[in-house]
Amino acid sequence: MIPENTKEFPGPARGPTLIVQQPNVDPMPRYLKYALIGLGALVVLLVAIAAIVAATFDPNDYKPLLVKLVQEKKQRTLDIPGRIRLTFFPKIGADLGKVSLSERGSKGPFASVDSARVSVALLPLLRKQVVVDRLKIDGIRANLKKRKDGSTNFDDLAGGEEKTPAKDQQVLVLAVDGVDLTNADIAYEDEAAGARYELAGATLKVGKLGDGVSDDFSFKGRVRSKSPTADAEVSLKTKYTMDLSKKQVRLKDLVADIGGTLADLKDLAAGLSANADIQISPLSASLSAVAVSFKAKQPAGELAAKLDVPALKYAATKCRCRSSRPTSPCRAPRAPCTSPPPGARTPTWASTPPPPASRARSTTAASRPRSRWRSSRR
């Protein structure tokens, strides 16, 4: 009888049979086997915990407490008429359904959504990372208002000052895999200017958000206003790359279009395409391969234009001046400009200032280049 760990090889004709015994070899290393068993046990444990929590925890029991907290802290009425549904594996998620929030100290509507869904990856939480899988919000309705005194109806929701975390405090890393906003209607009213602007049927799609990521961005909506008259479709598409450490955003293949009515321009069709590098702080921008097209109708006739620019640059600079006279741009000042005291006269600039009437100029003096600055002080 031949053992199991042997293999038979036929020998020469009419000769004996050669039998070779093979060593016992485990096809999988022992440490890898134990690692897979441990990983499987961990997955089963997480599923069991999620099942227990899902069976015993009901977030709808905490809705009255949440409504009361918002009323006490913000003096606003929060309404969640539907049931909140949760998921725990493989992602922690919530489906809020319809949600509405009232104006401060009133029952008038401030903002509402028809549905809101958000999910967070489970395993990154163990590494102090919050990875939002996909944030989906449909049917946003918001009424934003700026009052005559300069305050807004959302000042209390803006939050307080940013706090610097302590050195020994761990910072929670936030990353978003995508944002989808659909059917958004947002109105903004400026009481002091008597203007009202509306954004209707807006759709916003944003890819991954985080340091060093690249993804797609798209926006589309309809803009309306009465003063100035506007009723136009606006769209924007681009590919972006974020560098949060350097506060930079790079836009590639940027395409913006607007079409409709704007003031006295009818059948407006305008477009812009470019690549852009934007520095957020300090603010600056560099554009390349800029192409602009414009076409519209006016009572006096039709307008059409095309413009191609190889490169454009913008930088926000603060020009300083000396005690009484401005210096040329980018020149180191002796003292920074300060706000003048109440009632004091401030210097003004003019493109072609007239010569002072009280002083007679000689021919030599008149031929010299005149300063482009004049003061209201005589």
pLDDT digits (tens, 9 = 90+) for 110-140: 999 999 988 877 667 666 667 777 889 999 9
**Three-class HEC string of 249-290:** EEEEEEEEEEEEEECCEEEEEEEEEEEEEEECCCCEEEEEEE
Of 309, 313, 243, 308, nearest to 276 (Cα)? 313
Higher pLDDT, 123 or 345: 123
Higher pLDDT, 317 or 93: 93
Asked if the model's pLDDT at residue 351 lies above 50, the reply is no
The pLDDT score that the predictor gives to residue 349 is 39
Q: Are 53 and 88 in contact (CB under 8 A)?
A: yes
Find the length of the chain: 378
pTM, two decimals, is: 0.65
The pLDDT score that the predictor gives to residue 87 is 74
Residue type, 191: E
Q: Are 223 and 234 in contact (CB under 8 A)?
A: yes
Bridge partners of 292?
272, 307
Q: Are 292 and 323 in contact (CB under 8 A)?
A: no
The pLDDT score that the predictor gives to residue 22 is 52
Residue reference for tokens 């206003």 = 225
Bridge partners of 248?
243, 279
Average pLDDT, the chain: 77
Mean of the pLDDT values across residues 53-80?
84
| Distance separating alpha carbons of residues 76 and 134, to the nearest angstrom | 28
The pLDDT score that the predictor gives to residue 14 is 53
Asked if the model's pLDDT at residue 85 lies above 90, the reply is no
Q: For the segment 287-335, what is each residue's pLDDT rounded down to a tens digit?
A: 999 999 999 999 888 999 999 999 999 887 765 544 444 444 444 444 4
Of 93, 139, 94, 135, nearest to 115 (Cα)? 139
Of 277, 232, 285, 275, nearest to 257 (Cα)? 232
Which SS3 state, helix, strand or coil, does residue 355 take?
coil
Asked if the model's pLDDT at residue 180 lies above 50, the reply is yes
| Distance separating alpha carbons of residues 216 and 240, to the nearest angstrom | 6
- Which residues fall within 8 angstroms of residue 202, CB to CB, at 6 or more apart? 181, 183, 184, 185, 186, 219, 220, 221, 222
- Which residues fall within 8 angstroms of residue 248, CB to CB, at 6 or more apart? 242, 277, 278, 279, 280
Which SS3 state, helix, strand or coil, does residue 156 take?
helix
Asked if the model's pLDDT at residue 348 lies above 60, the reply is no
| Residue 282 preceded by cis peptide, ω within 30 | yes
The pLDDT score that the predictor gives to residue 252 is 95
Of 108, 105, 102, 190, nearest to 149 (Cα)? 190
Distance spanning both ends of the chain, measured CA to CA: 124
Residue type, 123: L
Residue reference for tokens 């109806």 = 153
Asked if the model's pLDDT at residue 99 lies above 90, the reply is yes
Q: Are 116 and 161 in contact (CB under 8 A)?
A: no
Q: For the segment 272-282, what is each residue's pLDDT rounded down to a tens digit?
A: 999 999 998 88
Bridge partners of 234?
221, 258
Helix (H) or strand (E) holding 50: helix 30-56
Asked if the model's pLDDT at residue 50 lies above 80, the reply is no
| Distance separating alpha carbons of residues 241 and 225, to the nearest angstrom | 33
